Structure 1
Amino acid sequence: MAFAASLAKLQAEASCPICLDYLRDPVTTECGHNFCSSCIHQRWEGLQDTFPCPVCLHHCRDRSLMKNIQLYHMTETVKQIPSMRGKRKRQEEPLCKKHREVLTLFCEKDLELLCAQCRVSSDHQDQPLIPIEEAAASHRGMLKRNIEAKASHLENVEMLYKNEVENTWEVKRKIEKWREELDNECKEIKCFLAIQQNEIDNNLLIEEKDVEEKLIENGRQISYHRFRLSSLLSKIEEKCLQTDEGLLTGIESIHNGYGNQETPAVLSCDLRTETYNLPPHYLGLHKMFRMFQACLTLDPETAHPNFIMSRDKRSVTYRTPNGFPNPQDLTSYPAVLSSEGFDAGRHFWAVEVTGTEQPKIGIFLDYELGEVSFYNLNNRSYLHGITDTFTEKLMPYFSIASSSASLIIYIV
């Protein structure tokens, strides 16, 4: 058994981790792992800059690989061992450890080789015993069927692993592309957005590191799962090459190895589609007005007594009262509320006030951002901003200072 174990280990060392066959034209990566030259170049096809080792995921810097002449000669020698080993096995006839007789029977219940003397022992009297040849034929058939299933499973895991590597680089490419777009956008805004740009870039780095770590960890789990499948497949193939007695010896450990072969879950590689969120007023007033225009009307019930409202409820005219002034005029400004309010979203509206001068003001509300911004639409300049945390419904409020002149508030 020690010879068989050593031989199996030697054959594994002479096998390619990718194709699982004996190494052909073996090459060695900078991390010390060996592959068929054609296998590793096919695995790295389409990759650029960094090439991950299929075994340990070490990032090789380039495609430079060292030919391993010594390993090539060793592999050629190992290929000749199975026939020599088969002759040696046939010369050794295993005996029952308990009765020192030739093993001729197999217990299907305990999966154990027995001799004729074991048949009459109390441990196996009522158990199903069949000749070794019959048992070996049955189990060899089961193993061969399992080889096909495991080979198909291994092929699927190989494809899954390749996709995980491609996903890692796709994520990096997407993040680099979004970072370039972010830099271009930041060049067009004012200097005080530099702080926000740094925060956004840090968030990108955190997301990149988080996703890359998860993908690498998932890749390691898949690589380990792939290694376990490869090892199990090698053991099964080795078993099938043994004599009947050798095949049935320790067959239980092979069957037990079938369990716990569930493929690791695939990590979703989806990224947030919007990685930065600049304040909307930097997009341009015209675009902002077109995207977020709010259709407002004035509420007659909240209008100041000196306001005369138009039929469409979109403008009011201030008239100075004749005679003694209204006491309300002395305590409040002429004002009116909108009939519509906002408790979410982004909204833009414009107000024009005519009188001694004609100012046209744009108002932008970002409820979630907690910001109200005011713009001079005559020269398209930013006037003032208010920042707060909004928790209730906001109602647009229109007011002018008391004046003897006739003024008109018009919602554009």
Structure 2
Amino acid sequence: MAATVKFLKDLQSEITCSICRGYFCEPVTTGCGHSFCQACLSSSWRLSAPDFSCPECRQVSQDGEIPLVNMRLAELTEFGKELSSKILQSTEGQSQCVTHKKLFKLFCDEDQTALCVTCCETPEHGTHTIFPVQEAAHKYRKELEHIRSDLGKHLEEDEQLLAQVKRPAVDWYWLIRGEFHKLHLLLMEEENRCLERIRQEEKASQDRLYQYMQSLQDLMQELQEVGHQANLDLLQDARQLLERSEAVLAQRLKAVTPELTEYPIPGLIEMLNRFRVDLTLDPQSADSCVSVSGDLKSVKAEEDWSEETEDSSCHGVLAVQAFRSGSQYWEVDVTQLPQWILGIYTPYLRRKRTRNMDSCDFAFLLRCVKKEGDYYLRTYPGPLDHRMKGPLPRVGVYLDYSSGTLAFYNVLQSSLIYKFHSIPFTAPVTPIFSPGPPLPGTKPGSMTLCPVDSHLCACCCSSQ
């Protein structure tokens, strides 16, 4: 019996396809001597095209064509299948129930076990569905063959899908690449227009300053000439010259201080939103001049705000979060504030700073100041001291710890305000917020941290 089983296993290995693991169906033999179902080899070669290699040993076929059906192997397969069926039936007839010493002639569908006649009469199987062994085997063979047929259909469909993926009707790679190329060109054109606008406005600013200097020189010349006139003649022109002098000097701040021009960058804020972080204020860090809201999202100046010097007005509050790696971006609503300070604080840098900022040492700030109806933006430290067209509704702050970058943005206009470069951070960086100083005779407003999912547009700003 053992020799028969071994012979049967050896025969099955010779008539079984190594791809589908089933008996050969229209077997073909490659030049290297390995055999497969014709359909299996065809599918394998379609998947690996143009490399027509043997699925067994990977030897490349010289002609790349499916061989003809091996008729001798097909006949051997049919003989093996018939012989295997007869041997299985004979071995089934020799199987006996260990308990009742009777042949297994029945099969319990619920328990999936073979039974003898006596087993099926026990209460354990009294209500179960019982089939003769041959009938049960035939039933399951049909079901398995049906499943195998369905799997074959799915395989054919998947092969067709794979072919479509390899050669799609719509070439999305080139289409999308073309759209990005078009976008790159548009951005380059926008960049060139923006840079040209910067050059023109720098020249216009120089011209305005030159004209103002020329008016000062003319006024000085005229005052010098008047100084040599007779008393009566001087008195006649004195009041008019004083008024002109005051008017010219009143224009000095606007003439000397450049205006902060907005240069919108398409997609800027959308790109920065990828780094949005949710900040909360730390009430423990707030001094007596400010108060933090209960939700830890807003800070307001108290009425007893004190300001010793203009550059040391660091009354404010720190964020709970501190950063020592990565990139972060947050936005702050300053709609209710005419004056404010935003930035970061870090206790240590890699080198000593030459400028002493009193209590604001190692802070990098952007400050908004209102004077005589005009708004000015200044950085500490840094060269920015520019006049604005009007107040900012929302300011974006971007921090990149590794490169030491800190940038401020006009969210509404999608434009850059100022950027600090190469700050030598060595310790955690904490955002800082100051809602003042408040203007005399005005009610202090709130500085509010914007939610990470909030967005600002022109219509939102106009409605505030």
TM-score between both structures, scaled by the size of structure 1:
0.39
Q: Which one has a bigger Cα radius of gyration?
A: 2
TM-score between both structures, scaled by the size of structure 2:
0.35
